[in-house]
Each structure stands twice: as C-alpha cells, then as structure tokens.
C-alpha cells in the first residue's frame, strides 16, 4: 500500500486526499494548527487516513504533496522530505504571497525556489492549474474525449513519471512541461492557466508554447 503525505489540508490538500483515498492510497495529512483540528476530515476520509504534524506527514509519505501557499516557502520539513519526490501545488500570487524578488525579476521560478529549499528532494510542480473541486468532478477514464490534461514540471524524470501515473489514476492526461525553469509557462495569467477548465492534451501543449514571460511589478 502506498502512503501519500499531504502537507496542507485546505482546498487543494483535502481534495487531493479525497482523490487519493478513492484510488486506494493511504494518506497522512497535516495543517498548521495541529492534527486534532482535522478530526472532521479524517472521519470523512475513513480508516486509510490519519492526521499528523507536517514533519510526521513528510516522514510517513512514500511521496509527499505540499499544498501550502508560497508565503510559507521556508517552512517545510526539509529533513523529513529528503530523498523523496515532493509535488508542490503552489501558485505564486503576489497579492497573497508577498513579492519574491528573484521570481519577479525572472531569475528563477517559484518551483525552482522550492527545489532550492528542499535540495535533497525531487520537486515537481503539479496540480496547479485545476480548481480543487474539479479534481473529483471532472475526472474521466483514459480515452474519454472529454478527458482534461494537466501539466507537470520537474528536473527529475522519475518525478514526472510518478505524477503522470498519479494524474492517470485520478482521471487526467499529462503534458510534461519540464524542467522546473519552464514551469512559469503554467503560472497564473498564462494561457494554460486561463483556459484551465477545458484543455485536452493538445490544447494544453499549445497553450504552454504560447506562454510569454510576465514580470510582476
Ligand atoms: N484552491 C484551489 O483551487 C487551488 C488549485 C490549484 C493550486 N492551488 C494553490 O495551492 C496552494 C494551496 O492552496 P489552497 O487553496 O489549498 O490553500 P488553503 O485552502 O488556504 O489551505 C492552505 C493549507 O495549508 C496549511 N498550512 C499553512 N502553513 C502550513 C505549515 N507551515 N505546515 C502545514 N500546513 C500549513 C493550512 O493549514 P491551517 O488552515 O491550519 O493554517 C491549510 O490547511 C496555493 O498556492 C494555491 O494557489 C490552489
């Protein structure tokens, strides 16, 4: 049985947890306020789910998903995440997250920043351009003409392979937008982001190519 550690139990973390349980994973999930505040979610998810601290969720996961806004970029349990594939769902929104000068200048991307923060982990940008409730409501079997595609970016092929398998299990196709230095192409405001609700694989690949760098002021 594969265990997914999930750090962040808000809109995205809780929906990924529901999708993971529906696909026979075990999950260990954390928020910032402590496991006891997640009793309602754990009751809903059932016996294959438990709540923990962020460090315990990181340690328990065969791989780990960070579903925490970027403003907490320095706050993740790096030691427990070492050696693991880490999927990061964050979208950089300066009105919410504050300004990251190196990202704003185009020197780096937010997910390269996360990779810097977690040097012993294999970071992948994943699940960033789908509204959380759509993870369950728009899932489709392979080959369905209405099946949506999601992008993944990573510097590690094994992380791309894992995300591709996970997307497929969850009911989505994949477009590989690696390496992490290209991950800005699916950022908020880009065509792949704006059209997120209705892209198949070909449309998403085209939208990723149409992206133009934007530097927030
Ligand atoms: N919402 C969407 O549809 C969506 C879709 C794709 C991507 N995203 C991106 O994914 C990220 C998360 O979004 P969200 O909407 O899920 O946010 P959210 O609903 O605000 O949830 C954030 C979660 O992170 C937890 N958290 C914060 N700091 C933490 C820490 N240090 N350790 C452990 N947990 C911590 C919070 O716990 P507490 O509540 O206890 O503080 C909360 O459970 C954002 O960057 C967002 O842009 C969102």
**179-196 pLDDT, tens per residue?**
999 999 999 999 999 877
Nearby residues of 152 by Cβ (< 8 Å), 6 or more positions away = 124, 125, 126, 159, 160, 163, 164, 167, 174, 175, 176, 177, 178
| Residue 31 in contact with ligand 1 by CB distance below 6 A | yes
Ligand 1 mean position, distance from CA 62 (Å): 21
The whole model's pTM is what?
0.97
CA of 143 to the centre of ligand 1 (A): 32
Asked if the model's pLDDT at residue 197 lies above 80, the reply is no
Closest ligand 1 atom, CA of 76?
A: 31
Find out whether the beta carbon of 14 lies less than 6 Å from any atom of ligand 1.
Answer: no
Q: Is the CB of 65 under 6 A from ligand 1?
A: no
Strand order across the 173-176 sheet: 49-51, 26-30, 3-7, 63-66, 85-88, 122-125, 149-154, 173-176
> Cis omega (within 30 of 0) on the bond before 51?
no
In sequence order, what E strands does 69-203 have? 85-88, 122-125, 149-154, 173-176
What value does the mean pLDDT of the chain take?
94
Question: Among residues 7, 189, 177, 194, which one has the least CA distance to residue 88?
Answer: 7
State the DSSP code for 190.
S
pLDDT at 112: 96
What is the number of the ligand 1 atom nearest to the C-alpha of 12?
16
Q: Using a 6 Å cutoff on CB, does residue 91 contact ligand 1?
A: yes
% of the chain beyond a pLDDT of 70: 98
* Residue to mutate, 5, 14, 27, 32, ligand 1, most ligand atoms under 8 Å from C-beta: 32
Q: How confident is the model at residue 71 (pLDDT cuts 50, 70, 90)?
A: confident
Ligand 1 pocket check for 124: Cβ under 6 Å: no
Give the residue, by CA position, lying nearest to ligand 1 atom 21: 10
């Amino acid at each position: 049985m594969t265990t997914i550690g999930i750090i962040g139990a808000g809109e995205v973390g809780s929906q990924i947890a529901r999708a993971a349980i529906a696909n026979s994973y075990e999950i260990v999930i954390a928020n910032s306020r402590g496991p006891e505040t997640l009793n309602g979610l754990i009751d809903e998810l059932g016996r294959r789910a438990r709540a923990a601290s962020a460090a315990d969720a990181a340690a328990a996961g065969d791989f780990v998903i960070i579903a925490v806004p970027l403003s907490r970029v320095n706050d993740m349990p790096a030691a427990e995440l070492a050696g693991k594939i880490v999927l990061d769902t964050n979208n950089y929104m300066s009105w919410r997250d504050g300004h990251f000068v190196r990202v704003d200048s185009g020197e780096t991307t937010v997910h390269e920043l996360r990779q810097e923060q977690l040097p012993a982990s294999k970071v992948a940008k994943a699940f960033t351009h789908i509204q959380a409730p759509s993870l369950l409501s728009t899932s489709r079997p392979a080959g369905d003409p209405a099946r949506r595609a999601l992008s993944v970016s990573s510097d590690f092929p094994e992380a791309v392979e894992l995300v591709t398998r996970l997307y497929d299990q969850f009911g989505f196709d994949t477009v590989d937008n690696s390496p992490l230095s290209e991950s800005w192409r699916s950022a908020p405001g880009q065509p792949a982001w704006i059209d997120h609700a209705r892209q198949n694989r070909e449309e998403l690949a085209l939208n990723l190519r149409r992206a133009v760098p934007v530097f927030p002021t």
